[in-house]
Structure 1
Amino acid sequence: MLVETILRQAGIKPNFTAVMDQVRSVTYKELYDEILSRAEMLSDFVAENGEPVGLLFPNSVDAVTWMLAMAKTGHPVILFGSKMKENEVNYHINRIGLKLTIADRRIVTGWNGLNQTLYPFSGADNSVALKHPRELNRQEEEKFTAFEKGDFICHFTSGSEGEPKAVIRTLEAVESEIIDTFVTINLKDEQTFLTIPPICHSFGLIAGALLPLYYGHKLILEEEFLPEKILNIIDTNKVNVLFAVPYMYYLLNKRLKLTKMDFSSITMCFSAGAPMDDSVSETFRQFTGVRIIQDYGSTETGVMCLNLETDRLPKSVGRPVVNRTIKLMDEEGKEINTNEESGEICILSKANVRTYLYPQELNRQKFIDGYFRTGDLGRLGQEGEVYIVGRLSSIMNVAGNKVDPVEVENVIKSISGVKEAVVVCIDDINRGSIIKAYVVAEEDIEEAFVKKFCKTQMADYKVPKAVVFMNELPRSQTGKVLKKYLVKEF
């Protein structure tokens, strides 16, 4: 029903703008026609019903219409990030056994190693079909796991470290998330959405792109983040709802210090992908009068919680979205029923991932009694609100002592002049496992001062043995700090 509901908007508001990007815009009637036209194009290339098809586009009208055309014809959509390198895309093509990928020619032009034959589409200037001959002998590779009827999207996620994961979510799950999110935020009237995070990721795609189309709103997609350009788009189009990640809000703040503008059209701002720093949120509110709503979710679950009451529930990621059941579990899988203890956040929801395509072992590790195990450590407040206190898999072992990196990072960030801080555990040839901190500072700070301050706040084994100052931290497209590159740097 997801695609059909979007298509029905053409009969309700045919001339209302549905989607626009930096190149073109389409009305709901034009969106309807383009989805049906591209569905026919797909039939010329894909013979097998239910065969997955790759999609490689930046945020654009093309990305939306091809995705919905694939869904309408029953082809699961393999969502490649537009910033992926050729070898990364090729890895997943071979791992899944894809026969076809629809791509933006500007991205794949010049890719020589990708096993492909390129076919341009008539009347679709930037779209090309890449045919991938499937290998005949795959016995020594991991068996291709068949997609099921009703599967919609396959996301790739690795978080901040580890092997890439392929996550399959169904049309029913995504539609459930759209409806539940809409009910929770209680949107009214026609709204204009501006979505900047890549729609190959859950946050940008579902609440940021599919929700406004499902309910007949106007969607603006931006593929690159330039603060001045974004502010102009907000002003020119009288944007009502903004989707961005924390680092984008930080950069918008820097620009807003130099530019006065009317933000009266904005009613809601959402942030996800990484924790929102209180100072960034408060500075943005001072400039715009709008509080940023923290979206707590994951690729596997979609949105889990929204903090719609940041004044009353500071430091919280908010209450669960409707039709979500959250409970905390201890290391043995037993439920924690007290507000005083923290435990692993587990969620029961129709929106949850159907399966991991790979690695297969995660299907045994990440589910318990129907609940998805997020790997996040949290506690529940008196009103059912959720507080994130750490990451289960990120607990560091330093000389036999357990150290939560979040605790160390928060201590460093409390130092005046420190904007960001991340710590990792590394193996030192002389000292064994040690904590190393990476710090982004807005003023001159000495390594010795950071260490000395930490010693006054924490046990000695938690104090970083090395501190590196950086201009910026390595991040994913959604703003997550990529700790794996910091470990490699050492």
Structure 2
Amino acid sequence: MILNLATLLEDSARRHPDRDAVVLGDTRLSYADVDRAADQVAGLLVDLGVQPGDRVALSCPNLPYFPIVYYGILKAGAVVVPLNVLLKGREIAYHLADSQATAYLCFEGTADLPMGAEGFAGFQQTPGCERFLLITADPAAASPIEGARTLGQALAGRSGPFDTVATNETDTAVILYTSGTTGQPKGAELSHGNLVFNALTCNRLFGNLATDHERHLITLPLFHSFGSTVQMNAGFAVASTLVLLPRFQADQAVALLQREKITFFAGVPTMYWGLLGALHEGVDVAEIARTMRVAVSGGASLPVEIINQFQERFGVQILEGYGLSETSPVATFSDPERDPRPGSIGVPIWGVQVKLIDAAGKTVEGADQIGEIAIRGHNIMKGYHRRPEATAEVMRDGWFRTGDLARRDADGFYYIVDRAKDMIIRGGFNVYPREIEEVLLTHPAVSLAAVVGVPHSCYGEEVKAFVIRSGAVTEGDLIAWCRETMASYKYPRIVEFVDELPMTATGKILKRELAGR
């Protein structure tokens, strides 16, 4: 079947050419503007020798350039390889070489984040990548990097529509690199069919219709699957207006929620925690609550306490979903026909099957039994790019093994217990950090917590909590409170108070860094 992910943009540009597609500060681009600019990028890439199926890498924060270049690459029939904007030159070179990218478009960055310099350094270390274009904030600006041609210079004088290359639903559209918590990062190959189905299914879940006009605030990085599918692709599919925030800062996000009359917010748990902490005097919470219709969380388990606080302040129930880069990403979501259940990641989405399995791969039966999540359906990646062995490790009889532990209640709702690799084994007992974190967040002096296992000579592992305080409490007081609240093998014997927790660019807490402290 002929299918190209860029159709999501093209169809909305045809139906709503004058509607704002992307907003950044005072810059407002219509759907016709974005589609026209993407056509120009596609024509340029083809003229530069990019062939259908070629990989084209992109490093860009949440700026209008991201969707323009992303869909331009797709229109040319090429494969988008979005890169984390925090990567350094050596890491960029790895991704370019591993993906076999033939071209690379990179934003110039800032003095604090010199993306362009790092990107060009990585490009120069990759002989197989033949073309580099620097994206400058001002398209007319000269290149600040010697030897690097700018996208603005390359596009100067170009005009006219571009006939999108016909691709098949099974052709690779995007290669998303995993975070690489173990070994080198791997590129998950997602097809046009994977991503179109996932975007359209999201809109079915959110109750978005072609007649609706959602206004998204996008603080999730667009280079990540959550932001690109749930907000950019799904939003463009129904001609939503995307208000961009290049870097999540809670005060700025709250101001935009109010000023731009945002109806749709999606974030990871730390973002919701940040929003709640930014509701200072002068914020019209009632006005934000009046316009906000949908709040979605994913990327990590959301503490129930934050769900309750957010609903109390904004009158909106945060809907939780679950997925990975390898699953396009959405695999489960709150059931739109039943009341949401705080703490649950919902039920399998349309066309997707989910089951729980044990270490031997046998299906775990019965309510509230813990097993590893396995998924099968239209959202599953084609495989890891050039990694048949790694693909075989996670794919068994068509089922993708996630490495995440969950339980399923009697009504079929799933609840994340923890990452299999994050589980702590203390004296032979299994301890799930998420459960401990949930309890810690109910303490009035705890603002945020992360629990990890640390080596112990007697018990194998000991439970340690890293805590950001919101009030006065000592280590001894908190441990004593935990002892009264949890089973003896669960409660943390070690508490370390910190001012902040290490996080990825997508807002996930980096537990592997904490475990090494």
Q: TM-score category by the smaller chain? A: 0.7 to 0.9
Given candidates 289, 306, 309, the residue that maps to 2:333 is 306
Counterpart mapping for 1:75-94 below 5 A: 75-94=78-97
- With 175-184 and 431-440 compared, the bigger mean Cα shift is at 431-440
Question: Match for residue 244 of structure 1?
Answer: 267
Opposite residue 227 of structure 1, the aligned amino acid is A
Question: Paired residue for 1:35, among 27, 33, 38?
Answer: 38
Task: Give the corresponding residue for 1:409.
Answer: 437
AA aligned opposite 1:248:
M
For 2:15, the equivalent position in structure 1 comes to 12
Q: For structure 1, which segment, 370-379 or 248-257, has the greater mean C-alpha deviation from structure 2 after superposition?
A: 248-257
Q: Are residue 268 (structure 1) and residue 294 (structure 2) matched?
A: yes
Pair 1:372–1:66, CA change in 2 (3 A): same
Q: Is the 8 A contact 1:328 1:342 kept in 2?
A: yes
2:81 maps to a residue whose letter is I
1:175 match = 196
Look up the SS of the partner of 1:373 in the other structure: strand
Say which is worse superposed, 116-125 or 198-207, in terms of deviation.
116-125
Task: Summarize the alignment of residues 345-356 of structure 1 with structure 2, pairs less than 5 Å apart.
Answer: 345-356=373-384
In the alignment, structure 1 segments of 5+ residues that lack a partner are 132-147
Are residue 476 (structure 1) and residue 504 (structure 2) matched? yes
SS in 2 for 1:346: strand
- Listed one character per residue, the Cα deviations across residues 372-418 of structure 1 (whole Å, up to 9, x for unaligned) are 11111112223321111222222234455543333443444444422
User: For the structure 1 residues 92 and 312, does the alpha-carbon distance in structure 2 shift closer, same or farther, using more than 3 Å as the test?
Assistant: closer
Residues in 2 aligned to 1:219 and 1:349: alpha-carbon distance in whole angstroms? 29
Displacement of 1:456 after TM fit?
A: 4.4
Q: Map of 1:23-102 to 2, 5 A cutoff?
A: 24-102=27-105
- Counterpart CA distance in 2 for 1:125 and 1:232 is 31
Out of 252, 256, 261, the position equivalent to 1:233 is: 256
Report the more deviating stretch, 343-352 or 359-368.
Answer: 359-368
Q: Provide the rounded CA distance (Å) in 2 between the counterparts of 1:437 and 1:160.
A: 21
Call closer, same or farther: CA 1:409–1:163 in 2, change over 3 Å.
Answer: farther
CA contact (8 A) 1:198 1:478 kept: yes
Residue type matched to 2:330 in 1? V
Distance 1:406 1:231 in 2: 27
Q: Distance in 1 between matches of 2:485 and 2:409?
A: 26
Tell me by how many angstroms 1:104 deviates: 0.8
Give, in whole Å, the separation in 1 of the partners of 2:416 and 2:461: 26
Bigger drift between 387-396 and 191-200 goes to 387-396
Question: Contact between 2:104 and 2:133, CA under 8 Å: does it hold in 1?
Answer: no
Distance 2:180 2:484 in 1: 32
Aligned to 1:293: 319
Q: 2:115 aligns with which of 108, 120, 124?
A: 108
The alpha-carbon deviation at position 242 of structure 1 amounts to: 1.4
The alpha-carbon distance between structure 1 residues 121 and 340, as it changes in their structure 2 partners (threshold 3 A), is closer
CA distance in 2 between counterparts of 1:4 and 1:431 reads 56
More divergent stretch after superposition (391-400 vs 479-488): 391-400
**1:429: Cα distance to partner?**
7.7
**1:316-357 Cα deviation digits (max 9, x unpaired):** 112222112111112221222311422111111101111112
- The DSSP-based 3-state class of the residue aligned with 1:256 is coil
Question: Offset of 1:240 from its aligned partner?
Answer: 1.4
1:361 counterpart SS class: helix
TM-score normalized by the length of structure 2:
0.83
Letter in structure 1 aligned against 2:478:
V
Q: How far did 1:312 drift?
A: 5.1
Q: Structure 1 residues 439, 306: CA separation in 2 closer, same or farther (over 3 Å shift)?
A: same
More deviation in 168-177 or 359-368?
A: 359-368
Report Cα offsets for 1:432-481 as digits up to 9, x if no partner: 64333212222232223333344445565545443211112111122211
> Aligned equivalents of 1:413 and 1:474: distance in 2?
18
**Among 150, 168, 179, which residue is 2:171 paired with?**
150
2:159 counterpart residue number: none
Which segment is superposed worse, 253-262 or 317-326?
253-262
Deviation at 1:204, TM superposition (A): 0.5
Once the two structures are TM-superposed, the CA of residue 157 in structure 1 deviates from its matched residue by: 2.0
Q: Verify the 8 A CA contact 2:463 2:494 in the aligned structure 1.
A: yes
Q: Residues 193-208 of structure 1 correspond to what in structure 2 (within 5 A)? A: 193-208=216-231
8 Å Cα contact 2:344/2:415 also seen in 1: yes
Determine the C-alpha separation between the residues in 2 that align with 1:77 and 1:165.
Answer: 15
1:146-185 deviation per Cα after TM superposition (whole angstroms, max 9, x unaligned): xx97111111222766542321111110001011111122
- TM normalised by structure 1 equals 0.87
Give, as a single letter, the amino acid of the residue that structure 2 aligns with 1:157.
T
Q: Provide the secondary structure at the position in 2 that maps to 1:300.
A: helix
Structure 2 equivalent of residue 138 of structure 1: none
Change (3 A) 1:211 1:44: same
Tell me by how many angstroms 1:126 deviates.
Answer: 7.7
Asked if the contact 1:100–1:130 (Cα under 8 Å) also holds between the matched residues in 2, the reply is no
Give the secondary structure class of the aligned counterpart of 2:351. coil
Residue 161 of structure 1 contacts residue 483 of structure 1 at CA under 8 Å; is this kept in 2? no
Could you tell me which residue of structure 2 aligns to residue 375 of structure 1? 403
Asked whether the equivalents of residues 106 and 134 of structure 2 are also in contact (C-alpha less than 8 Å), the reply is no
Q: More displaced, 223-232 or 113-122?
A: 113-122
Q: Is 2:305–2:441's contact at 8 Å kept on the other side of the alignment?
A: no
User: Could you tell me which residue of structure 2 aligns to residue 419 of structure 1?
Assistant: 447
Corresponding residue of 1:321: 349
Cα distance between partner residues in 2 of 1:210 and 1:165 = 23
Moved more, 187-196 or 408-417: 408-417
3-state SS of 1:485 partner: helix
Query: Structure 2 CA distance, aligned partners of 1:75 and 1:338?
Result: 46
Query: Is 1:279 matched with 2:292?
Result: no
Q: Is the 8 A contact 2:422 2:432 kept in 1?
A: yes
User: Is it true that 1:333 corresponds to 2:361 in the alignment?
Assistant: yes
Provide the C-alpha distance between the structure 2 equivalents of 1:216 and 1:354, rounded to a whole number of angstroms.
28
Change (3 A) 1:108 1:314: closer
Question: Does residue 1:395 correspond to 2:423, yes or no?
Answer: yes
Q: Say which SS state the counterpart of residue 35 (structure 1) adopts.
A: helix
Task: Read off the aligned partner of 1:108 and give its amino acid letter.
Answer: M
Alpha-carbon distance in structure 1 between the residues aligned to 2:13 and 2:123: 39
CA-based RMSD of the aligned residues comes to: 2.9
